[in-house]
Amino acid sequence: MLSRDSLLGWCVLLFGVVSFATGCSDQTRCTAEIMDGKYRGIASGKKGQRDLDEDAKRDACLQRCAAEKADILDDCAKRCLAEIRHDMINASVRCDG
């Protein structure tokens, strides 16, 4: 018969294995789509959802800027983000985690 302490130990071990196997994580992943899904950006990490939302939008903007062969990607991405903020470009973001 198992003692209470060893039973508790087995339960903790089992919980750890199940968490690892199911990919339990405290990270959040956000996916942004701009221009009706033509460009997609992804950001993940332990930052707040608001920061990851912005990072994902920036990544989508960088994809757009690269496709348009912009001279300076960073400046192009800043303009793209400003256009999103002013509803000149439609954007949707989904975060999981």
pLDDT tens across 2-49, in order?
Answer: 454 443 444 333 344 333 444 556 799 999 999 988 999 999 999 999
What integer is the mean pLDDT of 51-66?
Answer: 97
Mean confidence (pLDDT) of the chain? 82
Question: Rounded to whole angstroms, how far apart are CA atoms 79 and 91?
Answer: 14
Cβ neighbors of 95 (< 8 A, separation 6 or more) are 28, 29, 30, 31, 49, 52, 53
Predicted pLDDT at 54: 97
Predicted pLDDT at 10: 42
Of the pLDDT bands very low, low, confident and very high (cuts 50, 70, 90), residue 70 is very high
Residue 71 or 16, more confident: 71
Cut 0.85: pTM above it:
no
